[in-house]
Structure 1
Amino acid sequence: MTSGIPVTETRPARDAGLQAVLLDMDGTLVDTEGFWWNAEVEVFAQLGHVLDDTHREVVVGGPMARSLGHLISVTGTDATLAELSALINLRFVELIGRGVPLMPGAQRLLTELAAHGVPAALVSASHRRIIDAVMLSIGPEHFAFSVAGDEVVQGKPHPESYLHAAARLGADPARCVVVEDTPTGVRAAEAAGCQVVAVPSVAPIEPGPGRAVVASLEAVDVPFLRSLITAVH
């Protein structure tokens, strides 16, 4: 897997509570959910199928195999999962060619994490090729490493990607905070035993034990993240 920093050089934060922050990408740090949906709509339209917005909440935030499996089922297309994945990834890269907008508060939060010495990792359901393209807008220097959806055996909502990221950082999952925007990602983080900050994008997310729901990343800073760990330990 691709990593900006060797595992042996990665250390958890000295803070006795918060040890790491694990961040989703699409819809959380960058406003790309619309790009993904547009790519899917365009590709299916080329194949003679119309996607209406009722399917948008179903496919957002999950691994491509699950999302496309749903769309294949509802459209009855003859295209294979592999064919659709290649076409949609290609169209998405074309759509983001001029860069992608960061979500409000994202740049400030990433800068603040670095200033406080809190390790951060990017954990996404997107494939490596997509992450590397989007990283040009976010800045790879903000992360110890990134985990892509095609680099794990089981994607979100399975906890594998978040457990892997915590292990690489040498952090206890219970002392990690995950920042997510979809119910699928929240389920993955909670299954890993992490505390969660949910910033809903397309689909609504309700508050719950170990889960804080905020309107935007503007409401998230290091003291707030540390308080989530302190509250449960």
Structure 2
Amino acid sequence: MDGTVVDTEPYWIQAETDLVESYGRTWTHVDSMTLVGAGLWDSAQILRDHGVDMEPDDIVSHLTTAVRRRLALDGVPFRPGAQRMLAELNASGVRMALVTMSVRSMAEQVISHLPFVPFEILVTGDEVTRPKPHPEAYLTAADRLGVAITQCIAVEDSRNGLASAVASGARSLAIPHAVPIENAPSHTIWPTLEGRTIDDLFSIPFPETDAPHELFV
């Protein structure tokens, strides 16, 4: 969701910066990039290491509340081509799941800004035991949809997210946003969804390497 469907990374970065600076510490752009695509509770521990004297649950709640407030005040900044692609997939009856490390309440807030409901299910960061880059979230989504993971295409913007998708065995599309992603046989890279069609999406090749999700069990 964050960075793929919507451009919320600036909201997260500001929330992290404000929190760390409230404890008299410094939070740089380089620091913020280490959290892109990470699970919220993993991020909370990193923030604790940077001097935030709060319990992990409280950090997650604080950051999520701050970002949700920005979404309410400033709106939901959708990524280029994302709404159109979701609408086309939805109109064609393509089954979709939203797999995000944000909490469910925030995911539901973002989805509420769409004029249609594209996702059958949500798999969120507060509902998995092992966050990205572990493949649990994507494997859970496929299981709940009742399909094999190899029948799925995962769309990601971060390295952690892409690692999760590739490890699950899904065909994987990377659309880098906040951080660069290197070319590899395991995934396809597009600069944006703008101008892309369903046919383009379905033409994404299967990975040339076997899915390594057994390594994470």
How many Å separate the matches in 2 of 1:158 and 1:231?
18
34, 41, 45: which one pairs with 2:21? 45
Q: Is the 8 A contact 1:173 1:194 kept in 2?
A: yes
How many Å separate the matches in 2 of 1:219 and 1:211?
20
How many Å separate the matches in 1 of 2:123 and 2:57?
21
Name the residue aligned to 1:180: 156
3-state DSSP of counterpart to 2:132? coil
| Greater displacement, 64-73 / 197-206 | 64-73
Q: Is the 8 A contact 1:162 1:192 kept in 2?
A: yes
Name the residue aligned to 1:78: 53
Q: Is the 8 A contact 2:171 2:206 kept in 1?
A: no
How many Å separate the matches in 2 of 1:195 and 1:230?
5
User: Structure 1 residues 69 and 105 mapped into 2: Cα distance closer, same or farther (>3 Å)?
Assistant: same
Q: Aligned AA for 1:80?
A: E
Work out whether 1:61 is the aligned partner of 2:52.
Answer: no
How many Å separate the matches in 2 of 1:117 and 1:166?
16
How many Å separate the matches in 1 of 2:153 and 2:136?
15
Q: Is the 8 A contact 2:121 2:144 kept in 1?
A: no
User: Structure 1 residues 139 and 81 mapped into 2: Cα distance closer, same or farther (>3 Å)?
Assistant: farther
Name the residue aligned to 2:212: none
Work out whether 1:127 is the aligned partner of 2:103.
Answer: yes
User: Structure 1 residues 93 and 231 mapped into 2: Cα distance closer, same or farther (>3 Å)?
Assistant: closer
Q: Aligned AA for 1:79?
A: M
Structure of greater relative contact order (alpha carbons < 8 Å, 6+ residues apart): 1
Deviation (angstroms), 1:209:
1.6
CA deviations over 1:90-142 (Å, ceiling 9, x no partner): 11111111321111101110111122221111110001111122122235611
How many Å separate the matches in 1 of 2:116 and 2:12?
21
Name the residue aligned to 1:14: none
TM-score, normalised relative to structure 2: 0.89
CA deviations over 1:69-94 (Å, ceiling 9, x no partner): 12222x23322212222211111111
How many Å separate the matches in 2 of 1:103 and 1:160?
25
When the two chains are superposed, the root-mean-square deviation of aligned CA atoms in Å is 1.7
How many Å separate the matches in 2 of 1:77 and 1:196?
35
User: Structure 1 residues 189 and 139 mapped into 2: Cα distance closer, same or farther (>3 Å)?
Assistant: farther
User: Structure 1 residues 57 and 231 mapped into 2: Cα distance closer, same or farther (>3 Å)?
Assistant: closer
How many Å separate the matches in 1 of 2:133 and 2:81?
25
Deviation (angstroms), 1:196:
0.8
Name the residue aligned to 2:72: 97
Q: Is the 8 A contact 1:59 1:68 kept in 2?
A: no
User: Structure 1 residues 113 and 194 mapped into 2: Cα distance closer, same or farther (>3 Å)?
Assistant: same
Name the residue aligned to 1:207: 183
Count of aligned residue pairs for this structure pair: 207
| Greater displacement, 209-218 / 222-231 | 222-231
Q: Which runs of 5+ in 1 are unaligned?
A: 1-24
Q: Which runs of 5+ in 2 are unaligned?
A: 209-217
Percentage of pairs with the same residue:
36
Q: Is the 8 A contact 1:125 1:148 kept in 2?
A: yes
Q: Is the 8 A contact 1:57 1:203 kept in 2?
A: yes
Q: Is the 8 A contact 1:101 1:137 kept in 2?
A: no
How many Å separate the matches in 1 of 2:206 and 2:125?
31
How many Å separate the matches in 2 of 1:202 and 1:97?
22
